[in-house]
Amino acid sequence: MPIFQYKAIDNTGKEFKDSITAESIIQAKSKVRSQGVMIINITEKKSKAKGSSSFSFGKKVNVNDLAMMTRQLATLVRAKIQIVEALSALQDQVENEHLRVILSEVKQDVNQGASLAKALAKHPKVFSNVYINMVEAGEESGNLEIVLLRLADFTEAQRKLLVKVQSAMMYPMIMIVVGTLLISGIFIAVIPKLAKIFEARKMELPLPTKICIGISDFLQNYWMLIPLFIIFFIWIFKKWKASERGERVWHGFVLRLPILGNLNKMINVSRFCSTLGTLLNSGVPILMSMKIVKNLVPNVLMKEAIDDAKEAVQEGASMAPPLKASGHFPPMVTHMITLGENSGELEEMLGIIAENYEDQVEAKLDGLTATLEPIMIVVMGAAVFFIVFSVIMPMMKMNQV
């Protein structure tokens, strides 16, 4: 049912706000008046439309809410409850107000004949392309409850991975912020005073000292250009990455990064194998399973490799050679897939690969902090040494004079 937000006055004369679900605004007014209150105004709540430029602080749908909602919907669909009734039940159970409004709109669209995937597609800020494509594939294959359960697992795995990455990056980020503030303080408060002393002596300054004084002058007089440059750079980068060529170049660059590239590849391989194995075990046809799995992998180059593998399977060949030829799937993975196809135990082999790579991802993330800490210490130490060296050189010259 649509959600209506209203402002009213109770019997004591106190003004309050609340919300109510009803089939129409007339029914909503009737329900509110039956509580013995006087309505000031009542409006139907709507989610923000796509492309809206207005801000909506506090109206976010976090990963936990989305994962829980998806799992509950999968349970209801598995219990043979109609989609419209399932969405109505979810609407009453969901605590996030913004998600409740979205579910109300999705239910209305489905009730009017739209598919669940098309109804979800109207809310791209909440449901990603991967989410919508998987739901669409589940509806087409008749395995919607299996796909929804896998989506819930995938969403929760994303949250856990995000938490792990944030934990691994917390210490380096604190060091970067604190170090940047301290060094900026030196350039803004200390270097200008020393520069005045050097200017009073009319000394010929060495190059490192001139660089420090130049940075100090820039931070004092043109610091506002830094955030503007950062915003402009981010805008240009996003626009470039949104293009087809930019996306391919960027995704290729990510896979080639020394530490993060290998980690990214492991995460995608683990996601590919675990999801494909789960879907095949659940009776989803292999071509439909590969279509779903392809949408779970964000990297364009790896996605193309999976698409080539799908075409090979469609022609009756093995999926392993196209994956191997792409260079993005390790030889061990393609070898075990070949063994699984030949032995008829592909699902079990995919499960073993996924478990192995999940363990490797855990180990890589645990070692990420240990790798980054000494690098950050060296970088900060080098910056401080450069500043100190730049200050000491002219002072030593002054002592000699």
| pLDDT tens-digit series, residues 99-150 | 888 888 888 888 888 889 899 988 888 888 778 877 887 887 787 888 888 7
Q: CB neighbours of 205 closer than 8 A, spacing ≥ 6?
A: 198, 213, 394
- CA dist list (Å): 391 to 73, 204, 243, 354: 65, 13, 47, 55
Please say which residue of 110, 129, 155 terminates a domain. Answer: 155
Q: Quick check: is 389 in a domain?
A: yes
pLDDT in tens, 265-307: 988 898 889 888 877 877 778 888 888 888 878 889 999 999 9
Is the pLDDT at 49 greater than 60? The verdict is no
CATH of the domain at 98: 1.20.81.30
* Same-domain status, 173 and 98: no
In the structure encoding, which two tokens stand for residue 387, read together?
């500043």
* Same-domain status, 245 and 370: yes
* Same-domain status, 119 and 251: no
Q: Quick check: is 186 in a domain?
A: yes
pLDDT class for 253, splitting at 50, 70, 90?
very high
* Same-domain status, 306 and 391: yes
Q: Quick check: is 213 in a domain?
A: yes
Highest mean pLDDT among 32-36, 91-95, 302-306: 302-306
* Same-domain status, 175 and 301: yes
Mean pLDDT of the chain: 82
Q: Quick check: is 298 in a domain?
A: yes
The structural domain count of the chain equals 3
- Looking at per-residue pLDDT, the higher value among 319 and 26 belongs to 319
pLDDT class for 240, splitting at 50, 70, 90?
very high
pLDDT class for 54, splitting at 50, 70, 90?
very low
pLDDT class for 374, splitting at 50, 70, 90?
confident
| Amino acid 399: pLDDT | 64
Mean pLDDT value across residues 179-208? 83
Q: Quick check: is 49 in a domain?
A: no
**Residue 27 belongs to domain spanning:** 3-44
* Same-domain status, 35 and 7: yes
Phi, psi of 142 (to 5 degrees): 75, 15
* Same-domain status, 85 and 185: no
* Same-domain status, 27 and 93: no
Q: Quick check: is 401 in a domain?
A: yes
* Same-domain status, 88 and 21: no
Please say which residue of 112, 128, 155 terminates a domain. Answer: 155
Confidence (pTM): 0.66
Q: Quick check: is 84 in a domain?
A: yes
* Same-domain status, 135 and 194: no
Beta bridge partners of 7: 17, 41
SS3 204: coil
Q: Quick check: is 125 in a domain?
A: yes
Please say which residue of 155, 180, 211 terminates a domain. Answer: 155
* Same-domain status, 305 and 226: yes
pLDDT in tens, 317-347: 999 999 999 888 989 999 999 999 998 889 8
Quote the CA–CA distance of 12 and 284 in Å, as a whole number.
Answer: 60
Q: Within 21-82, where are the H helices?
A: 25-33, 63-78
* Same-domain status, 176 and 312: yes
